């Protein structure tokens, strides 16, 4: 089953269970975005990864996502970029979540910039949080750079929290 958070991504170069594409783009930050980040309130101190309840593979009645897919998204929403006080899902860094019947999860994500100082930590944290969900056997995280992330990829809630109107 596939939950397409953004759009289909082109292949990238895989290195172990965390992958990065070789394509790098220019820094998408604008002065207005950086100013909004400075005004934002820091999130609460991060805690241990939550232990989420077991989920079944039956789709829910709302959007067709399974309870397992919903639990995976909830787990990813506990990962915060240390420079942006919003979780990586709401920022728009998660492009695709693919859950195989055997419990293997493949996540395609990006970073706000190829020079992101958390480039090693964020994918590893996403992997750890997804693997903490009951029903997930394993997780691979692939970093892709196309399309290049930009502030328009943020959810409405993230835009409001960061002062984008």
pLDDT at position 84: 84
Percent of the chain surpassing pLDDT 90:
49
> What is the arithmetic mean of pLDDT over 92-107?
97
CATH number 3.40.50.300 given to 2-39+64-162? no
Query: pTM of the full predicted structure?
Result: 0.64
* Domain residue extents for the chain: 2-39+64-162
Per-residue pLDDT band at 165 (split at 50, 70, 90): low
Per-residue pLDDT band at 61 (split at 50, 70, 90): very low
> What is the arithmetic mean of pLDDT over 100-126?
94
Geometric angle at alpha carbon 70, from 64 and 73, rounded to 5°: 125
pLDDT at position 43: 39
Confidence check: pLDDT of 155 > 50 = yes
């Amino acid at each position: 089953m596939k939950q397409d958070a953004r759009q289909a991504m082109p292949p990238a170069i895989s290195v172990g269970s965390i992958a990065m594409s070789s394509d790098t783009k220019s820094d998408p930050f604008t002065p207005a975005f950086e100013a909004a980040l400075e005004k934002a309130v820091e999130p609460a101190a991060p805690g241990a990864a939550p232990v989420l309840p077991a989920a079944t593979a039956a789709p829910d009645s709302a959007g067709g996502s399974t309870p397992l897919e919903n639990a995976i998204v909830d787990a990813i929403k506990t990962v915060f970029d240390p420079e942006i006080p919003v979780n990586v899902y709401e920022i728009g860094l998660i492009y695709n979540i693919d859950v195989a019947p055997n419990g293997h999860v493949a996540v395609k994500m990006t970073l706000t910039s190829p020079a992101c100082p958390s480039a090693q930590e964020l994918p590893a944290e996403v992997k750890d949080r997804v693997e903490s969900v009951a029903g997930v056997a394993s997780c691979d995280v692939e970093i892709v750079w196309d399309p290049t992330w930009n502030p328009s990829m943020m959810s409405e809630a993230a835009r409001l929290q960061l002062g984008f109107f």
